[in-house]
Structure 1
Amino acid sequence: MSALLQLSRLIQKTFALWVVLFAAIALILPEAFVWLKAYIPWMLGIIMLGMGMTMQLEDFKAIAQTPKAVCIGVIAQFVVMPLLAYVLCLIFQLPTELAVGVILVGCCPGGTASNVITYMAKGNTALSVACTAVSTLLAPILTPFIFYLLASQWIEINTWSMLSSILQVVLLPIVVGLILRRLLKQRIQQYITVMPLISVLAIVLIVAAIIGGSKAQLLHSGLLIFLVVALHNGLGYLLGFGCSRLFHLNYADSKAVAIEVGMQNSGLGVALAAVHFATAPLTALPSAIFSLWHNISGPILATYWASRQHKSVAESELDARKSE
């Protein structure tokens, strides 16, 4: 088990590398991954089950301890990212399928990867976990509702069907995971240590399946999609941080909110696109590219913030020595 745990940690640390590697393989050998598209909702369900198994009541204590910060993080998540997506679609005059896909990923809740990135950035990890939990629990209502408001001008949307899908692939697995954690307690601990590895594998395969299935469209419009996704992600970090500072959150909380807002549960976007827009496969591509990109941009941002904090601490210690 210790060897498996070490492997799991190594895979998590090199997550972005594996996503890029398998995306490249999917472009070369698309037929090796296309068949996985039918199993995307199941793979996302496994990821959410793992999230539920790792959640504890302590994760929700941050809501009571810092309700203002949690509210800012969750509201920014469901306001900033959907509106950014809508504005980018108008600015770049994206075709229908791409516009729907960009707005869809913008309406998704925060992803669990944000918790790891916040920890790396020396942000408030407890706040990040609380924001992820709350936004995920609110997603069955808010994601279809906001998506309908912003995307219905491009395509007909069945809001109730989308709500049902999110309940099935997100909320139900999380609830099952929480129940298993509650009932099995210590006996489930060894399985919890493996879940991050399984989640990484599932996300890598989801991205590869969409990349492989959209090879022709990606080669044709890849640069445009990447530009829109990178702007969406980067502006999400910037506006998330700006909103936090505007409402006078401290630096650690502001970093957590910025990362929470900028990083989406893009796997949910892929799953919803695969289920509800199967006849328009390009709608899943922005979510897949988002999953690829935010796992590169997130660690870069975290490294920058962590290095700034180390530098600040070193300068404070130097000033203290000089004053002695």
Structure 2
Amino acid sequence: MILFGMGLTLTGQDFRRIVQKPVPVLLGTVAHYLIMPSLAWLLCLVFQLKGATAAGVILVGACPSGTSSSVMAYLAGRDVALDVSIEALSTLLAPVMLPMILYLFAGQYVKVPTQSLFMSTLEIVVLPIVCGVVVHTFFGKRLAPVLDFLPIVSQLAILAIIGAVVSANHANLFTAATAIVIPVVMLHNLLGYTLGYLFSRLLRLRQPQQKALTFEVGMQDSSLGATLALTYFSPAAAIASTLFSIWHNISGSVLSSWWKSHTRKVWRRWSRTTGVWRMRPWSRLMF
């Protein structure tokens, strides 16, 4: 449902944009798949997580960008085109990247069924998106009134998945293992925001692009992580995805609200002094 809805919002222009201006999209996708899995692995080492719990944390880090990131980044006033392009590319690459990352980082904790994960991710992720794009291509104009409600539907679907995972894990959610995972999940998300933002500053992107990259790196498709954890590992492996689903919506809401308020103040100040946004060198080359 969530990824089919994402496919309904995509057009040929979104994919052409990846080809026409590939540098920021590719760099954003690379940052996502480099930063979040590495952070997850390092946090497992620091907090000495083991077994299915560690695999669950790394599984969250290996997931593509979450649909919630689009909602949060939109509220913060981000670059719509860049956000959608990175989200689409990272999601389409998930069938390859997710099993590979899990094999590299989580192979020491649990047995990783890479081939089965590839097929499941292909079915869960790519197929619904392709179906959504096809439906949008043929019925785009008729779907216009429906598209406005898709963010709400996506959020409700995410809440339903969280509810199902919590129900399956209710015996495991209030244990010592869960208490250890909570700070890991919070640090994973917050460090993802921080490193995503610093990476965008290093590339000298404009502020709207900085916001898009920050949310695309820091927020994961944890509903996918929960589904795969319950399918291939154990309920304990789904704890990290469950907690991440709850926490990143809280942190994302706070960050988007602060950023929107802060942007208004900066815009007023810059408007009085210069009248325009400052365009940096890399921005001219990439946008």
- Quick check: TM above 0.5? yes
Equivalent residue of 2:171, what SS? helix
- Counterparts of 1:96 and 1:90, CA distance in 2: 12
Using a 3 Å threshold, how does the CA distance of structure 1 residues 248 and 319 change in structure 2: closer, same or farther?
A: closer
Kindly provide the amino acid, as one letter, of the partner of residue 181 in structure 1: H
Question: Who is 1:183 aligned against?
Answer: 138
Name the CA distance, whole Å, in 2 between partners of 1:108 and 1:154.
18
Contact 2:50/2:109 (CA < 8 Å) preserved in 1? no
Q: Tell me which amino acid in the other structure corresponds to 2:246.
A: L
- Return the offset for 1:315: 2.1
User: Could you say which residue in structure 1 is the equivalent of 2:114?
Assistant: 159
**Runs (4+) off by over 6 Å:** none
Give 1:225's aligned residue.
181
- Are 2:157 and 1:202 aligned? yes
CA contact (8 A) 2:67 2:154 kept: no
Whether the 8 Å contact between 1:72 and 1:244 is mirrored in structure 2 is no
Residue type matched to 1:224 in 2?
I
Is 121-130 or 288-297 further displaced after alignment? Answer: 121-130
Give the corresponding residue for 1:37. Answer: none
Which residue identity is paired with 2:264?
H
1:80 corresponds to:
35
Shift of 1:247: 2.3
Q: Percent identity?
A: 42
Match of 1:312 among 266, 282, 286: 266
- What is the identity, as a one-letter code, of the residue corresponding to 2:235? P
TM normalised by structure 2 equals 0.90
Looking at structure 1, the residues matched to 237 and 167 of structure 2 have their Cα atoms a distance apart, in angstroms, of 14
Q: Which residue matches 2:285?
A: none
Q: Distance in 2 between matches of 1:320 and 1:264?
A: 37
Quick one: distance in 1 between partners of 2:21 and 2:263?
22
CA RMSD of aligned residues (A): 1.7
Residues 119-138 of structure 1: CA distance to partner in whole angstroms, max 9, x if unpaired?
22222121111000000111
Q: State the TM-score, normalized to the length of structure 1.
A: 0.80
Check whether the contact 1:128–1:256 (CA below 8 A) recurs between aligned residues.
yes
CA distance in 1, matches of 2:263, 2:110: 46
Equivalent residue number for residue 273 of structure 1: 229
Following TM superposition, by how much is the alpha carbon of 1:73 offset from its aligned partner in structure 2, in angstroms?
0.7
Alignment match of 2:240 (pick from 262, 283, 286) = 286
Unaligned runs of at least 5 residues, structure 1: 1-45
